[in-house]
């Protein structure tokens, strides 16, 4: 796919997003320009929404679905952010809900 063709698709996707206000209808790979114009911030679930589709390349068909690595953070007992890199929504929500003491990487502050 040429760069011009790619940009054209991006522009069309932005237009579609602005018109329909539908995040689900957009290919995740093309939402980067649409998101800043959405009235509400992107939701956690959006980041893990299933991506479908493929793209023809010079050497076969490439798959566009695949895991997304998401960095989440919460404020620890010392006021500093504690981070974790996860690749599904359940893990992200578990991390955000867990007491910070569960984290091995940043030494637990209390018991």
Q: Using CB under 8 A as the criterion, which residues of the chain lie in contact with other proteins when the complex forms? A: 1-4, 6, 28-29, 32-33, 35-37, 41-44, 47, 54-55, 57-75, 77-88, 90-92, 94, 96-99, 101-111
* Dist CA 26 CA 31 (whole Å): 6
Closest separation in Å from C-beta 103 to other proteins:
7
Closest separation in Å from C-beta 37 to other proteins:
7
Structure tokens at 50: 């299933």
Residue 91, sorted as left (phi over 0), alpha (psi -120 to 50) or beta, turns out to be alpha
3-state class of 83 per DSSP? strand
Closer CB to other proteins, 25 or 54, in the complex: 54
For 88-99, b where at least 16 C-beta lie within 10 A, e where not — what string?
ebeebeebeeee
Closer CB to other proteins, 24 or 60, in the complex: 60
Closest separation in Å from C-beta 20 to other proteins:
18
CB 62 within 8 A of CB 54: yes
Closer CB to other proteins, 16 or 103, in the complex: 103
Closest separation in Å from C-beta 104 to other proteins:
5
């Amino acid at each position: 796919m040429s760069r011009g063709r790619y940009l054209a698709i991006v522009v069309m996707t932005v237009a579609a997003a602005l018109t329909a206000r539908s995040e689900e209808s957009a290919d995740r790979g093309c939402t980067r320009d649409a998101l800043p114009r959405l009235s509400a911030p992107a939701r956690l679930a959006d980041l893990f929404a299933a991506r479908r589709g493929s793209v023809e390349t010079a050497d076969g068909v490439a798959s566009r679905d695949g895991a997304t690595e998401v960095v989440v953070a919460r404020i620890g007992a010392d006021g500093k952010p504690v981070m974790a890199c996860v690749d599904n929504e359940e893990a992200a929500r578990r991390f955000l809900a867990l007491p910070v003491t569960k984290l091995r990487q940043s030494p637990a502050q209390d018991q």
